[in-house]
């Protein structure tokens, strides 16, 4: 624990944060903030309100403020659902709701800065946190550190001529910018080489007290698992097509998918189309302690998404001792070194994915070797304690510079 006289009061601006015990939303931020308190950082979180959540609470030493942005709670649906950009860009009404969201967010941030005597600001995701931080920067001389996790960088690069021209001055004035993978760092540098000096790669922190090899759980060498979302980016349809090929040659192989999202009906229809109803099971998302059981039971865990910012399901599975397969795309290549701590396959290639799954199903020594190497790597690189210490050092350097 750092000397409390040197404690830094940090405003954390985010649109994604746990609303209740067991909530998945932004759970890695909750873990990071809890660990920051061990390093002389006092996080004060500002997040959107949602139905049933407290407007203010203190959880494990972290203060959490939640701002309302609609008179009726039922209209507070921009955050926590993974569809903010679609809702905002989909209609004029969505733009007006987003403006209201930002106005309320900015006002709440200003109030907290004054009342909590904030000394630095940390924002998570360029949009919407960066929009709030820009306003703060115009009114206060506070150190600013931004963290990006994938979605915001995809949007910024897709609409670079509009988005980055608006954010350029703000981004160049940051005291630090952390990203979860070298893929995202390279995307930003490609957009603006001058930003290299403020960028740091800092993976998502993992709770090693939650994700670990549980020897009481029997691993099923025929079980393939995927923890994902049913969106176009996650390419679950290619996984179903790949497993249809696997099922032809291996009558014992089974696939379990855990997730939610708008493409679930399409995926369910695909399962029926291939006659896989008895071999593929789709589950809703489960809490982290149950997720540990999923990873510990599975012989293989697959994430075959496109331009993934990081690939949290893979690194969590590695901590639990499962062998992993991922696409050679985005931040997944930071996690998996091909043939050493997992297998990489080309994007959108169901035949190659099927071949990789079949290879690990039949080659137990290879599967065990990749799992052991992966687990060692994950323990060294993704444990929350060391990552929180690095992040705290970035915050402290920003304040003391």
H/E element holding 223?
strand 220-227
Tell me the per-residue pLDDT of 178-209, one tens digit each, with 9 for 90 and over.
Answer: 999 999 999 999 999 999 999 999 998 999 99
* Alpha-carbon separation of residue 24 from 21, 237, 246 (angstroms): 9, 24, 32
pLDDT score, position 1: 47
Q: State the pLDDT at residue 4.
A: 52
Question: HSE on the CB side for 214, CA within 13 Å?
Answer: 20
d(CA 67, CA 383): 31
pLDDT at 73: 87
Measure the CA angle with vertex 350, ends 348 and 352; round to 5°.
Answer: 100
Q: End-to-end distance of the chain based on CA atoms, in angstroms?
A: 22
Average pLDDT over residues 327-346: 97
Q: Please say if the pLDDT value at position 368 is more than 80.
A: yes
Greater confidence (222 vs 22) lies with 222
pLDDT for 146 equals 98
What phi and psi, each to the nearest 5 degrees, are found at residue 85? -65, -35
> In whole angstroms, how far apart are CA 397 and each of 1, 29, 148, 173, 337?
17, 20, 19, 15, 32
* DSSP calls for 134-181: HHHHHH----EEEEE-SHHHHHHHHTHHHHHHHHHHHHHT-SEEEESS
Q: Is the pLDDT of residue 3 over 80?
A: no
Report pLDDT for 152.
Answer: 87
Q: Go through the domains of the chain in sequence order and give each one's CATH number.
A: 4-205+383-400 (3.40.50.2000), 220-381 (3.40.50.2000)
CA distance 309 to 332: 8
Q: What is the pTM of this model?
A: 0.90
Tokens of 191: 């957009």
pLDDT at 202: 97
DSSP string, 113-145: HHHTT--EEEEESIIIIIHHHHHHHHH----EE
**What is the per-residue pLDDT across 263-322, written as a single tens digit (0 to 9) for each?**
999 999 999 999 999 999 999 999 888 999 999 999 999 999 999 999 999 999 999 999
What integer is the mean pLDDT of 241-247? 98
CA gap 367, 267 in Å, rounded: 28
> For residue range 102-134, what is the model confidence (pLDDT) as tens digits?
999 999 999 999 999 999 999 999 999 999 999
Is residue 31 within 8 A of residue 59, CB to CB? The reply is no
Average per-residue pLDDT for the chain: 94
């Amino acid at each position: 624990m750092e000397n409390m006289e040197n404690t830094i009061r940090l405003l954390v601006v985010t649109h994604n944060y746990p609303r209740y015990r067991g909530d998945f939303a932004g759970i890695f931020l909750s873990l990071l903030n809890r660990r920051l308190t061990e390093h002389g950082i006092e996080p004060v979180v500002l997040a959107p309100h949602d139905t049933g959540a407290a407007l203010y609470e203190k959880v494990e030493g972290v203060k959490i403020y939640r701002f309302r942005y609609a008179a009726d709670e039922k209209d507070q649906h921009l955050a926590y659902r993974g569809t903010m950009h679609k809702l905002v860009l989909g209609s004029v009404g969505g733009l007006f709701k987003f403006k209201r969201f930002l106005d309320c967010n900015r006002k709440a941030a200003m109030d907290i800065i004054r009342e909590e005597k904030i000394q630095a600001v940390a924002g998570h995701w360029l949009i919407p946190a960066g929009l709030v931080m820009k306003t703060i920067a115009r009114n206060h001389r506070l150190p600013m550190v931004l963290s990006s996790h994938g979605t915001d960088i995809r949007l910024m690069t897709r609409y670079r001529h509009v988005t980055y021209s608006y954010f350029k001055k703000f981004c160049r004035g940051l005291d630090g910018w952390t990203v979860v993978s070298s893929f995202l760092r390279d995307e930003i540098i490609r957009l603006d080489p001058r930003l290299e000096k403020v960028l740091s790669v800092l993976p998502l922190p993992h709770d090693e007290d939650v994700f670990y090899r549980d020897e009481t759980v029997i691993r099923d060498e025929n079980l393939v698992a995927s923890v994902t979302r049913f969106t176009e980016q996650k390419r679950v349809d290619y996984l179903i097509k790949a497993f249809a090929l696997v099922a032809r040659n291996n009558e014992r192989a089974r696939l379990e998918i855990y997730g939610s999202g708008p493409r679930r009906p399409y995926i369910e229809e695909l399962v029926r189309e291939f006659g896989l109803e008895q071999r593929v099971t789709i589950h809703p998302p489960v809490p982290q302690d149950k997720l540990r059981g999923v990873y510990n039971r599975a012989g293989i865990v697959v994430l075959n998404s496109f331009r993934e910012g990081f690939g949290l399901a893979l690194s969590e599975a590695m901590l639990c001792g499962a062998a992993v397969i991922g696409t050679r795309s985005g931040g997944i290549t930071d996690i998996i070194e091909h043939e050493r701590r997992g297998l990489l396959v080309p994007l959108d290639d169901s035949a190659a994915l099927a071949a990789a799954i079949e290879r690990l199903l039949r080659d137990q020594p290879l599967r065990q070797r990749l799992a052991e190497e992966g687990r060692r790597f994950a323990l060294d690189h993704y444990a929350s304690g060391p990552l929180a210490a690095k992040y705290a050092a970035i915050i402290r350097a920003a304040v003391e510079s």
